[in-house]
Amino acid sequence: MIGEIGVIGEIGVFVLGLCIGSFLNVLIYRLPRSLTLGGRSFCPKCKKQIAWYDNIPLVSFILLRGKCRKCQFPISLKYPVVELLTGVLFIGVIGGIRVIGAIGVLGYFAIVSAMIAILFIDLEHQIIPDELIAIGVFGALGVFLPSHLSLLTSNLLSAAGASLFFLFLHLITKGKGMGLGDVKLVFLMGLVLGFPKIIGSLYLAFLTGAIVGVILILTKKKRFGEHLPFGPFLVGSFLTFLFWGDRIIQWLTYHFF
Ligand SMILES: [Zn+2]
């Protein structure tokens, strides 16, 4: 689809991604703290309201060299990272996924936006807000309902299977291994990816989670048995299979099956 919209269109999509990323930063800060989403942004240190010209995605962070204009309190690198990531993934959606129609594109924008927010909230607070799962599910309906109704039905089975498996893990580990948030997150993943990509992405999540867990224990950043949020690994694996899943499955089928 990238050929159809041209370079100007691509830049437009990237800027849209930066702006949505800026809004995601608000969600990431306020959702876990049960704050309202309205009202102006303020500096977490000096509480001064941030002027519009200091709130331009990416640009303001660079111009302010990552510090609050008033009190010089460092602004977390997380803010520009979320903005940039959203911009890049939006470009990825229009350039790297077979999408039908504008509603499909908007659906994928909603899905990747929800996933970015889930990644950063789970990393910091070990929770996955239901609102974000709902945004992702609505996005999936936008992707599949207009022209892929049969695919939606079969993907629902993948979603149910993945979440039942995680519910089982949640129950046998008495909630210590997997949270209910993870159960809902893999439902969304199955709904979007379908079979067999959901299997590959869950496998990748367990693999990367185990590798990072071992590294954290060896470097004494975490103790054995200490909780490590699994959401970021699920989101990373989901995005990997969203953009490269077809190629990965093709490669695996060619070499191993
Ligand atoms: Zn300040």
Residues 80 and 112 in one domain: no
What is the residue range of 210's domain? Answer: 106-257
Assess whether 5 and 127 both reside in one domain: no
Cα dist from 188 to 115, 132, 184, whole Å: 10, 10, 7
Ligand 1 centroid to residue 46 C-alpha, Å: 4
pTM attached to this predicted model: 0.93
86 and 17 Cβ atoms separated by less than 8 Å: yes
How many angstroms is it from 45 CA to the middle of ligand 1? 5
Torsion angle (degrees, nearest 10) of CA 120, 112, 239, 87: -90
**Phi and psi at residue 42, to the nearest 5°:** -135, 160
* In a domain? residue 131: yes
113 with 197, same domain?
yes
Q: How far is the CA of 125 from the centre of ligand 1 (A)?
A: 23
Q: Report CA(49)–ligand 1 centroid distance (Å).
A: 9
Burial class (CB in 10 A: 0-12, 13-18, 19+), 215: exposed
> Which residues sit opposite 42 in a β-bridge?
49
Identify whether residues 58 and 133 lie together within a single domain.
Answer: no
The number of domains in the chain is 2
Q: Using an 8 Å Cβ cutoff, are 178 and 206 in contact?
A: no
Task: Judge if 85 and 147 occupy the same domain.
Answer: no
Q: For residue 152, tell me if it sits in a domain.
A: yes
Q: In whole angstroms, what is the distance from residue 100 CA to residue 98 CA?
A: 7
Residue 101 lies in a domain: no
63 C-alpha to ligand 1 centroid (Å): 15
Helix (H) or strand (E) holding 87: helix 78-96
Between the CA of 53 and the centroid of ligand 1 the distance, in Å, is 15
Centre of ligand 1 to C-alpha 22, Å, is 18
Residue 226 lies in a domain: yes
Query: In terms of domains, do 183 and 120 share one?
Result: yes
What per-residue confidence (pLDDT) applies to 2?
Answer: 47
The residues of the chain scoring below 50 in pLDDT are 1-2
Asked if residue 113 lies in contact with residue 103, where contact means CB atoms within 8 angstroms, the answer is: no
Pull the structure tokens for residue 245: 């899943």
Considering 41, 61, 96, which residue would you say is the last residue of a domain? Answer: 96
Same domain? 142 vs 243: yes
Of the candidates 96, 118, 138, which is a domain's last residue? 96
Are residues 125 and 152 located together in one domain of the fold? yes
Same domain, 113 and 207: yes
Please give the distance, rounded to the nearest whole angstrom, from the Cα atom of residue 124 to the centre of ligand 1.
Answer: 22
Q: How far is the CA of 68 from the centre of ligand 1 (A)?
A: 5
- Ligand 1 center to 84 CA (angstroms): 23
Whether the CA torsion 195, 196, 201, 206 is positive or negative: it is positive
Query: In this structure, what token pair is assigned to residue 114?
Result: 């929800």
Q: How far is the CA of 80 from the centre of ligand 1 (A)?
A: 17
CA of 114 to the centre of ligand 1 (A): 28
pLDDT in tens, 38-89: 778 888 889 889 898 998 999 999 999 999 999 999 999 999 999 999 999 9
Same domain, 92 and 111: no
Å from CA of 221 to ligand 1 middle: 30
Q: In angstroms, what is the span from residue 56 Cα to ligand 1's centroid?
A: 16
Last residue of a domain, one of 96, 129, 144: 96
**199 in Cβ contact with 190 (< 8 Å):** no
**How far apart are the CA of 67 and the centre of ligand 1, in A?**
8
pLDDT (0 to 100) of residue 174: 83
Residues measured by CB to lie within 5 Å of ligand 1, the ion: 43, 45-46, 68, 70-71, 73
DSSP state of 42: B
87 and 68 together in one domain = yes
